[in-house]
C-alpha cells in the first residue's frame, strides 16, 4: 500500500495553507490529531518546528516553506534524498499542465496560471527536488503558448525537448496534467532557445470572442490588442480596459 502525507499541527493558518497547496497539486493527505496514534498508512508527517518534539514519529518534516515541505515529504514517501534524473513534462496551453517525474516515478502534477508562470514554477520544482540531471519536455501542440513557455524559460539553463504529444490527452478530471505525464515519458527533439510568436487568425478571433463574452457583449477588442494578449504582453483584462478607453 502506498503511504500518504499526514498533517499534524495546531497552527491553523499553516494547516490551511498546506491543505490548499496539496489539493491544488492533487496530492493525497490525511489530517491528524495529537490525541490519536498516527495511522500506519502515513509515511511522512508535516508539522511546525516547535511541535516536532511533540510527535513520536520517525519521518517528520518541519515546515518553514509550504512547497519545500511538501516536496521533502514526497521524497520521503518515494525513499529518495536525491534523484538521478528529474523530467518535467509540460502540456502547453493558456493554463499549462505540469508533471514532475523523478527516476521514472510521478512525484506530482500541477497547473500553471499562464505560460509565463511556468518559469517560476520550474524554479520551485528544481529547488524542491535535488537531481543530478534535469530535463524539460513540452508538447508540440498549441505553438503560440508552447513558444511563450519556451521563451519564458530562455534565461534558465534547462535542456528542453519538443515532443509529439499525440495520444497523450485522456478523458479525466485533469486532462492537462495527465497529458503532461505522457509527454514526460516521450522522446523529442531539442528546442531552440527563443521562438518568434505569431498568433494564428483563429487565436485572434477566439480572443475577440472571449472579450465579448467577458464584457457581456459591450466590448470587442481590436485584432492588435488580441495579438498582444496572445503573445503574452498583456492580459485580456488589460486589453478590455485599453479598448474601453479608446472607445470613450
Which sequence spans correspond to the domains of the chain? 4-78, 83-190, 201-247
CATH class of 83-190: alpha beta
| pLDDT band per the 50, 70, 90 thresholds, residue 199 | very high
| Residue carrying the nine cell digits 528546442 | 191
> Does position 237 have pLDDT exceeding 60, yes or no?
yes
| Residue carrying the nine cell digits 513520536 | 56
Domain 4-78 listed as CATH 3.40.50.2300 = yes
| pLDDT band per the 50, 70, 90 thresholds, residue 246 | confident
121: alpha, beta or left? (left if phi > 0; alpha if psi -120 to 50): alpha
For the chain, the straight-line distance linking the first and the last C-alpha, in angstroms and rounded, comes to 64
The whole-number average pLDDT for the span 145-174 is 81
The pLDDT of residue 168 is: 54
Short-list 153, 151, 155, CA closest to 143: 151
Give the span between the Cα atoms of 91 and 223, in whole angstroms.
27
Computed over every residue of the chain, the mean pLDDT equals 91
Which range (78-82, 98-102, 178-182) has the least confidence?
A: 78-82
Amino acid at each position: 500500500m502506498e503511504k500518504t502525507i499526514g498533517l499534524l499541527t495546531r497552527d491553523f493558518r499553516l494547516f490551511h495553507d498546506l491543505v490548499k497547496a496539496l489539493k491544488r497539486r492533487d496530492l493525497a493527505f490525511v489530517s491528524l490529531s495529537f490525541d490519536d496514534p498516527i495511522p500506519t498508512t502515513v509515511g511522512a508527517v508535516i508539522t511546525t518546528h516547535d511541535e516536532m518534539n511533540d510527535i513520536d514519529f520517525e519521518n517528520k518534516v518541519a515546515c518553514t516553506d509550504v512547497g519545500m515541505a511538501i516536496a521533502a515529504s514526497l521524497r520521503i514517501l518515494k525513499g529518495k534524498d536525491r534523484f538521478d534524473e528529474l523530467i518535467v513534462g509540460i502540456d502547453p496551453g493558456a493554463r499549462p499542465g505540469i508533471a514532475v517525474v523523478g527516476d521514472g516515478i510521478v512525484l506530482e502534477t500541477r497547473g500553471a496560471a499562464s505560460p509565463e508562470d511556468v518559469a517560476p514554477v520550474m524554479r520551485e520544482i528544481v529547488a524542491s527536488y535535488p537531481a543530478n540531471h534535469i530535463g524539460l519536455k513540452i508538447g508540440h501542440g498549441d505553438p503560440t503558448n508552447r513558444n511563450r513557455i519556451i521563451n519564458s524559460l530562455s534565461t534558465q539553463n534547462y535542456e528542453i525537448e519538443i515532443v509529439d504529444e499525440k495520444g497523450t490527452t485522456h478523458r479525466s478530471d485533469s486532462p492537462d496534467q495527465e497529458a503532461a505525464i505522457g509527454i514526460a515519458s516521450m522522446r523529442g527533439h531539442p528546442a531552440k532557445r527563443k521562438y518568434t510568436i505569431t498568433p494564428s487568425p483563429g487565436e485572434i478571433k477566439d480572443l475577440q470572442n472571449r472579450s465579448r463574452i467577458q464584457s457581456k457583449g459591450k466590448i470587442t477588442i481590436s485584432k492588435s490588442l488580441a495579438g498582444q494578449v496572445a503573445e503574452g504582453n498583456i492580459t485580456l483584462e488589460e486589453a478590455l480596459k485599453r479598448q474601453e478607453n479608446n472607445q470613450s
